[in-house]
Every structure is written in structure tokens, then in C-alpha cells.
Amino acid sequence: MFDVAVIGAGAAGMMAAALAGQRGLHVVLIDHAAKLAEKIRISGGGRCNFTNIGTTPANFISQNPNFCRSALAAYTPRDFIDLVERHGIAWHEKHRGQLFCDESSEQIIEMLRCECDRGRVTWRMPHTVDSVALEQGSYVLHSGQGKITARQLVLATGGMAIPQLGATDFSLKVARQFGLKVVEPRPALVPLTFDAQAWQPFAALSGVAMEVVVRSGGASAQAPSAAGKGKAKQTEFLEDLLFTHRGLSGPAILQISSYWEPGTPLSIDLAPQQDLEPELLAAKVGSRQQLGTVLSGLWPRRLAEQWLANVEPGGQNLAAQRLADVPDKVLRQLAQQIHRWSLTPNGTAGYKKAEVMRGGVDTRNLDQKTMQVKAVPGLYIVGEAVDVTGWLGGYNFQWAWASGAACGRAL
């Protein structure tokens, strides 16, 4: 009989297992994958964006936004940096507080494996758990490879993003089995797609990238000046956008995708550092330039040409018209469309392309200091399986470390 069984040897599961083991508990860590912590391995382009030094509860989405406060305060980015430094891993800050390994994400995996070994954690990997039962106060895990019994159970199998790497909804299924509520899971930090016919003119722009302000909630959004770099309000991000064959991607779109509700429009400001209406009207005086050339000074030429050909008030061969000849009314309309491009995605690129899952086990079921299920003693749920979803930029790992640590110290 183990003191603790942890199912899922990813970011949160290894943190919880290591800390519990180092406190003298007899811990078994179980994972169905053949290779350890694949998501850490591929994260941050192979360098693992392991935390964000600006982490606050405002960087997370949850039906219960205050739930993450306690765990985040008790295990901070500084705590994880200290661990990284104790293991001699060199790191650097890349962009807006995002910390990456100088060399490789393998170093983070090795560090966590080493911390588990310090806690004398027993590994069962690859090992698939078929069923979980609570029998006379102990958790009994059945599988084709035999039975594992433990006094306490930690569910740490993460979210459903990237099923091709073995992601499953195992924690959600077990949570439901124990009568817990689950907030509807959905792909998040994910590219957005559009109706193929409507997108056809923009598909040619695949590969074009530019800085934009993107808002969920459509045309009612506020002035572009409301967005500050790295200080976006919850529904507004100033980041790069990328055109793809099927729709839009890039950090701006991944961020807003976590807030996007199906059927609702996005509003995109394609010239966030500009106030185009007065600029175009002023530039008009005495100008001999064609409108297409003027917009090419602002954007990649491909975008300027496509935009003037395809977006109303197009149809008037605007690109070839001299700026001086374009009526003020048309210039005003054009400026407005560029600052408030309103478009409605028809969906997301799905779990195959998502970085995380939004939703998960309803936090109202859990104690915020320990991650223990309030109604089921000895059962804990940590990491991405919980309804706490971070922004892009190291926040999701910080949640995995913090929730894993909260649990590992409480077991």
C-alpha cells in the first residue's frame, strides 16, 4: 500500500510527487506514456517557457477567478527559478516576463525526475489505469498490469490538447465518477478558422504577420489606445497576428481564442499604433501617391493589395486610385474598417493544434489551499485538469508548479 498514487507524470504530477516524497511519504507516480513529460519537451519551441515573472491571478481564466490566488501566492515564479538555479540550469527572459531555458526543455524534465528520485518516488511507466475505486478508505487502481492501492490519490493527467501525444480526459472522467462538476472543456490558445469561401481572399496572405489589437466582443469594443503592451484587459491583447490558409493564428489570436465564444465576432485593429482617419485625410492634400502605395507604407504590401481589393469600400479599384482623388467619406470608412475589422470565426483548429484545454474540474469542488476535493477525502486534482487556464507566456506551467506544490505539501 502506497501513501500516495499520482496519475500523470507531467508538470503538476511530478511536482506533487516530488514534494510529497521528500516529506517522507511513499509515493507511486503512474503515466501511460512511454516517454516522460512530452508536453514539457515540446514546450516553448524546445526551450520550455517555464514561468512568467509577471504572473498574477489576472492572467488566468476560470469560472471562479479567485481560486488560483492562494496556490500562486504560496509557490511563486521566484520559487521555481530558485529550483531551476539549484539544478544549474541557465535561463533567460525573452519577452514580457517569459522565462526560457538557454539550452533545452529536457533540462526541466531531468530536474523534475531528479527531484522525484530525491523523494524516492516509485515509477510505473508506461502503465495504463483502467479504473479507480474507493474501497474502505483506500484508492484501488486496476489495470492490466495489476492492482495499485494508495491511501490518497492525485489526478494530474492534464488537459486534452495534443491527443497525438497521449492527452486524455482521464481526470475529468474520474472526477465525474466521484460526482464532481466539470466546466465544459474546450480547446484554448488555439488558431481560429473561418468559412472556407469567405476566407478564400485572405488565404493568399498565409504567412503575413503583423502587430494588432484583438478584442472579443466585436464592434462595441473600446478605443485602441486602451490596450497597453503586456497589460491587456481580459478581452483585449496587443500582440502579433499571423494569417494562415484556414484562418488566423499568432500570439494575438491564441490569446483571444481562450476568451472567444462560438458565434461571436472578433474585432481586430490592424493599425494599432496609428489614428488613420486624420492621417489619411491630412496625407491627401497635394498627394500624388496611389492609395495602395500609401497603405503599403503601413502594412506588408501583399496585405495592402488584398485588403483594398477585397474589403468594402473596395470594388472601386481603390488601390490604383490616387489618394488625392479618393473622397473623404471613403477614406473615413476605410480607416474605420482597418481599426475595427469585424469577423466571426466558424470554429477553432481543435485540440490537435491547441496548447491547452479551457474548462475542467469545477474549482468549487476543491480546497484552494490544497487542491483536495472537499467532498472526497484523500482525492486531489492538480494542473490543467482543473478549471484554471493561463494566458500564453509561461502561465500554464506556473499554474502546474503552483497547484502541484500546494498538493504535494498538503498530502
Residues forming contacts to ligand FDA in the complex (CB under 6 A) are 7-13, 31-33, 37, 39, 42-44, 48-49, 128-129, 156-158, 161-162, 166-168, 170, 355-356, 383-385, 394-397, 400
- Give 255 or 306: the residue with its C-beta nearer to ligand FDA: 255
Min dist CB 150 to ligand FDA, Å, is 15
Is the sign of the CA dihedral 86, 89, 94, 99 positive or negative?
A: negative
Q: Please write down the long-range contacts of 273-276, taking CB distance under 8 Å and 24 or more positions apart.
A: 273/211, 274/298, 276/334, 276/335, 276/338, 276/339
Min dist CB 243 to ligand FDA, Å, is 21
Min dist CB 37 to ligand FDA, Å, is 6
Residues 6+ apart with CB under 8 A from 397: 11, 40, 43, 48, 49, 50, 51
Residue 405's identity, in one-letter code, is A
- Give 47 or 339: the residue with its C-beta nearer to ligand FDA: 47
- Give 11 or 253: the residue with its C-beta nearer to ligand FDA: 11
State how far the alpha carbon of 184 is from the alpha carbons of 61, 216, 345, 367, in Å: 13, 19, 20, 20
Residue 86's identity, in one-letter code, is R
Min dist CB 275 to ligand FDA, Å, is 35
Q: Which residue number is nearest to ligand FDA in terms of Cβ?
A: 10
Min dist CB 208 to ligand FDA, Å, is 23
- Give 334 or 357: the residue with its C-beta nearer to ligand FDA: 357
Calpha distance 249→226 (Å, rounded): 22
Q: Are 142 and 332 in contact (CB under 8 A)?
A: no
Q: In this structure, what C-alpha cell is assigned to residue 99? A: 522565462
Min dist CB 162 to ligand FDA, Å, is 4
Calpha distance 151→380 (Å, rounded): 12
- Give 31 or 115: the residue with its C-beta nearer to ligand FDA: 31
- Give 168 or 337: the residue with its C-beta nearer to ligand FDA: 168
Distance separating the N- and C-terminal Cα atoms of the chain: 15
Min dist CB 384 to ligand FDA, Å, is 4
Min dist CB 50 to ligand FDA, Å, is 7
- Give 221 or 405: the residue with its C-beta nearer to ligand FDA: 405
Calpha distance 363→407 (Å, rounded): 14
- Give 171 or 267: the residue with its C-beta nearer to ligand FDA: 171
Nearest residue to 106 via CA among 12, 36, 31? 36
Residues 6+ apart with CB under 8 A from 176: 182
